[in-house]
Chain A
Amino acid sequence: MLFPTLDFGLFFLPVLILVWTLGQASNEWRKIILVLASWIFYGAWDWRFVALLIASAAINWLLALAIQRRLAADAGVQPWLALGVIANLAILGFFKYFGFFLEELAPILVAAGFGRDLPVLDVVLPVGISFFTFQGMSYLIDIARGKTAPASFLDLVLLMSFFPHLVAGPIVRASHLVPQFQAVPRLSRAMVAGGLILILWGLFKKTVIASELATRLVDPAFFDPAAQTGPDLVAAAYGYAVQIYCDFSAYSDMAVGLAALLGYRFPRNFDQPYRAASLQDFWRRWHISLSSWLRDYLYISLGGNRGGLFFICRNLFLTMILGGLWHGAKWTFLIWGALHGGVLAIERLWRDLRPAGLPRLPTPLAVLLIFHIVVVGWIFFRADDLAGALAYLAELAAFRPGVALAGPLMCGLIGLGMAIHFTPPGLFAGLTRRVAAWPAPLLGVAVAAAVLIIDALRFEGVAAFIYYQF
């Protein structure tokens, strides 16, 4: 069930009505309605994985109680915390990486004579597994660190199942969302206005910009780079940078907007990432809930900024390598992570060892440089495999003349996707304040007009969000 479909609209509307009618009777009923709705939403992909979701919540809930008991008794929590992290990683590892390791090990095992014993197992990847397992892990670590209190079973199940963020984030932490679940939510006019604007803006970015770029430019270019011209390959590389931003930030915007209409606040997940003047700045603006998760639970656990420059660079590199592998077990994600980790380490070295008096790169040039480093990374991220990424780069270097794919609309959409990054940062807040002051009928007419325009312009059919595969 994809957000930008009528199927989802027909699911969401009754949930919204139930939450604000039956749910008003008691907060527990509201949460039960949301849990059941979330399971129906998730079950629309595969009912079997609803059981996995419940089991994962149950394991984390029990382990959290054990950790809390040890904390209360002033005893060490490490064994229980380690068990919790291993349990979550085991779930993630089995579904996400088992196939990859089997595939990579197969030639070795076959050569060693074990080929006949290799299990034939086609592991189906549950949608959103990377998100809810990370959420479970951060919940346990936060309890062990004393940053949050154990949640009730209902609150934890809802935290991990809540449908707006379930399949592609943002990764909402227990310390942020559980207190909201424990209070009776209130819907302000600003939340209504902001929520509706975010949903409509996300709908436009996904269905008009991202889907058009994907089908008419990016997918054909990456499918067969050898058949494309140089300008088309350049446009497709820029096009993918815009597509993935408009696709993923659209999901986040819609998730934040849907949660807001239900009375809950989700964190900001994107903040004009392509205006970053350093890669460190980029990671403060791109997939913020993941980058802050990696910082708080991985980078700091590896040692963080302690131990001198070498260890800081090592920790940055390892964090980004693991961040790359979080996306999936592919060499292309590993290289993408290594590129980002390497550049982050170089930036750190340059910051600390830069000779005094050397002029700094002007900000516009720094923005341009960082954007192009990110675009090179996206080529690896988008390619089906390593050979595909290298073929793309080789064809790009060959630069055959001519244009076939990158027509005026594609160039216009790339320009629009980039222009979004250079609008005033307070634009959304200003617009929300203005719309919140509108009378309800005017808001209704505006919503209908916006949906009509988007539906008329959008590509036929809706492709799944890129981050659903993670």
Chain B
Amino acid sequence: MADDFTSPVDIEASADGLPGLGQLAVALGLALILLGLFNAHALAAWADGLTPGPRTAPVAAAAHDLADRLAARGLDTPRAVLHDAGEQAKAARWPGQADQR
């Protein structure tokens, strides 16, 4: 290897607990479940972007059905609160600021 090669991930860290692969599998698996529950909106938005057709229609319907059912149980609330806060930040104006041309 060339002498000047350094990678940002060349870091010595504790090796206690699960090995790296186990750590990755558990963390990603849990993250996907949580995102499926709390961010099903993203799945529905992705399905909307699929080319409409007989094969994609059931996918889109299932994604929207899931998002609607989870929203009915209030699981979309954290995302909605954060999204509203983001929209408020985007709408903020300086005193006397002109409208965007």
Chain A residues within 8 Å of B, Cβ to Cβ: 5-7, 13, 16, 20, 147, 173, 175-176, 179, 186-196, 198, 212, 216, 220, 227-228, 253, 256-257, 260-261, 265-268, 292, 402-405, 407-409, 412, 428-429, 432-433, 436-437, 439-441, 443-445, 447-449, 451-453, 455-457
Contact = CB atoms under 8 A, between A and B. Distances in A.
B39 A193 contact: no
Interface in B1-53: 1-2, 4-32, 34-35, 38-39, 42-43, 46
B84 to A, nearest CB: 9
Contacts of B78: 452, 456
A179 B89 CA distance: 48
B98 A445 contact: no
A404 B38 contact: no
A448 B34 contact: yes
B31 A448 contact: yes
A400 to B, nearest CB: 11
Contacts of A448: 30-32, 34-35, 38
A447 B42 contact: no
Interface of B: 1-2, 4-32, 34-35, 38-39, 42-43, 46, 78-80, 82-83, 85-86, 89-90, 92-94, 96-101
B82 A457 contact: yes
Nearest to A436: B13
10 contacts: A6-B46, A190-B13, A194-B8, A404-B100, A405-B100, A433-B11, A437-B16, A445-B30, A449-B34, A456-B79
Contact of A451 (B23, B24, B31, B85): B31
A220 B20 CA distance: 46
B8 A173 contact: no
Given A212-B90, A456-B83, 16 more contacts: A187-B24, A192-B20, A198-B9, A227-B101, A256-B7, A404-B97, A404-B100, A407-B97, A440-B25, A441-B27, A444-B30, A444-B31, A445-B34, A448-B30, A452-B78, A455-B79
Contacts of B4: 292
Contacts of A433: 11-14
B97 A441 contact: no
B14 to A, nearest CB: 5
A444 B2 CA distance: 35
B29 A444 contact: yes
A452 B79 contact: yes
